[in-house]
Amino acid sequence: MLRLLADRFLLALLGVVALSSVLPVRGALVEPFSIATDIAIALVFFLQGARLSRATVIAGFTHWRLHLMVFAATFVLFPLLGLAAGLLVPTLLSPALYAGILFLCVLPSTIQSSIAFTSIAHGNVSAAVCSASASNILGMFLTPLLVGLLFSARGSGPSLEAVGSILVQLLLPFVVGQVLQPKIGKWVIENRRILGLVDRGSILLVVYIAFSHAVVDGLWHKLSALDLAVMVGVDVVLLALVLAVTTASARLLGFSREDEITIVFCGSKKSLASGVPMAKVIFAGQDTGIILLPLMLFHQIQLMACAVLARHYADRRLKEMEDEEEEALPAQA
């Protein structure tokens, strides 16, 4: 079911990109569509705040070693690998695509898919809920700050002075949602399917506007098939390295199998739901369409790879349980 939903959303994303390529927003329509996307972004972060239970998040922070591992992978390991990818510029990666890779590397983890894969793999689900939720909360602070630091060093991206206003645009709706969470949290959870459509619709709207601007500026004339192939390759290598490092680190530090699963799945994800609206705010006035391409590709790659990995963990656990049952039979006899 998770893979099916992911594929449907991927098809919707591809459909929006195709629509923006054939019928981009132009002229007098740009302003009303921009206002609509600003409202959609505020709604996305408001709903995130309204969904998260403060009690659950606070309770989960007791497992601080696990959360530090996840945060280190999300906000330290990924950015370091992103900086290392700068060695491919300009021979294999264009500066614009590298900006997209670097932006991808400073985003927070996902919430829904991290928890879903952890559950399928028989990991520590409660810790996954807390880690993924906390990653998104911290991401509203750390992602704009990291973008300001890393991109300013390259002479592009928002200035450090602009980070404060960006934080207000992203954080204020979330805080309002958190304040109202005790009153509307139950209603939000009960209507999560309908509100999930609002979330996805908001993302699709932002992607449509971003790619419309990029198409008008000649995106498909600037981007070749080789560029796309290189970008997919960089995304695959990036994910493989993070999966390998998080797995090896969790085992080296003596975490249990359940905690290892949580660290691997929460530490290797990057959130499309947070990344798309953040890009619209952080890179206002810039070509966000090409910046979002690495993230959109990484989103699907991580879902496919982690679906296989989660099934591997689950099958391994099932085999262990069967072996335990077989060993118990002679003893009972």
> Rounded distance, CA 125 to CA 258, Å?
8
What are the pLDDT digits (tens) for 301-325?
888 888 889 888 988 888 877 766 6
- Cα dihedral sign, 265-141-210-195: positive
CA angle 10, 13, 14 (to 5 degrees): 90
What are the pLDDT digits (tens) for 161-172?
556 666 677 778
Say what the pLDDT of residue 138 is. 85
Which residues are CB-contacts of 245 (< 8 A; sequence separation ≥ 6)?
73, 77
Say what the pLDDT of residue 230 is. 92
> Rounded distance, CA 209 to CA 25, Å?
7
What are the pLDDT digits (tens) for 67-123?
999 999 999 999 999 999 999 988 889 888 999 999 999 999 988 788 888 888 888
What structural domains does the chain harbor?
Answer: 14-20+29-314 (1.20.1530.20)
> Rounded distance, CA 49 to CA 72, Å?
23
> Rounded distance, CA 219 to CA 291, Å?
11
Q: Which residues of the chain have pLDDT under 50?
A: 1-2, 4-6
Please tell me the pTM assigned to this model.
0.79
